[in-house]
Amino acid sequence: TGRTRIHHLAQAKERGEHFAMLTAYDQYTAAIFDEAGIEVLLIGDSAANNVYGHETSLPVTVDELIPLVRAVATSAPHALVVADFPFGSYEASPGQAIATGVRFMKEGLAHSVKLEGGAYYADTVRAMVQAGIPVMAHIGFTPQSEHALGGYRVQGRGDDAERLIEDAKALESAGAFCVLMEMVPAATAAAVDAAVTVPTIGIGAGNATTGQVLVWQDMAGLRGGPGVKVAKFVKRYADLRSSLLDAARQYGEDVRSGQFPGPEHSF
Ligand code: KIV
Ligand code: NA
């Protein structure tokens, strides 16, 4: 089968079907998730946390993300590859956003990009789409605004739901091909999905969205261990942390005891 494209995501919504998205930041995970049929791969600015070890997503740069984007795009023959705009790479002007989008597509080989922000960014999205850069919009809880929003909090509760609906409509009118919502009540996400024609994607947004996304290290249980809290919206489908911990411990023991390498590993 061929490449997932933007119109396939639109078709999924028309048909009442769902699609899956995961983050990926390197060759092996990209190839495995692609082989598993995950339709969309996101090189999230969450690489700040999940690759580079920062506490928030704020410090990661375009220069740090581009090699990861290229690794994923090169290793995933079927998925739609989305590169995430990091903090500081698009806010100043539509021109800055176009320049960043061009870099992600030209140097990173991404098929589309994602940016955080609501109706305020409609002009930016419009300019990017005019320039040939497909844009996924990210509303609700937007981690780059953690300090402005007062921490990790559910967005779009009560009267605030109307603001999210207006944001989604403005972004759709500007040409965004998809609206992603993070940490919003399921009922609000359903109302947003109903208010726009474009497909929606949720993370912590209930099950009425067209697609779902998780950070792969959360999905596969690589992140965890003592003192690490996992968000309520995460479901763990594997326990990779335990598997790797066991493997590394066993290897270390075998080396120290002289069990490895054996004759079968020696020339
Ligand atoms: O950076 C990221 O991983 C994301 C997803 C969680 C939506 O933006
Ligand atoms: Na992100």
pLDDT in tens, 30-70: 999 999 999 999 999 999 999 999 999 999 999 999 999 99
- What lies within 8 Å, CB to CB, of 58 at 6+ separation is 48, 87, 144, 146
Q: Tell me the per-residue pLDDT of 97-117, one tens digit each, with 9 for 90 and over.
A: 999 999 999 999 999 999 999
Give the predicted TM-score (pTM) of the model: 0.97
Q: Which atom of ligand 1 is nearest to the CA of 214?
A: 6
Query: How distant, in Å, are the alpha carbons of 29, 94, 260 from that of 107?
Result: 20, 20, 42
Q: Measuring from atom 3 of ligand 1, which residue has the nearest CA? A: 44
Find the angle CA(116)-CA(90)-CA(26) to the nearest 5 degrees: 70
Which position among 35, 107, 182, 253 bears the catalytic label?
A: 182
Q: 140 pairs with which residues across the strands?
A: 182
Query: To which residue do tokens 């956003």 refer?
Result: 97
- Across the chain, mean pLDDT equals 97
The ipTM (two decimal places) reads: 0.99
Span from the CA of 57 to the centroid of ligand 2 (angstroms): 7
Distance in angstroms (rounded) separating the CA atoms of residues 266 and 41: 40
Question: Using CB atoms within 10 A of its CB, is residue 92 exposed (0-12), middle (13-18) or buried (19+)?
Answer: exposed
Span from the CA of 265 to the centroid of ligand 1 (angstroms): 41
Q: Tell me the per-residue pLDDT of 143-169, one tens digit each, with 9 for 90 and over.
A: 999 999 999 999 999 999 999 999 999
Distance in angstroms (rounded) separating the CA atoms of residues 165 and 123: 17
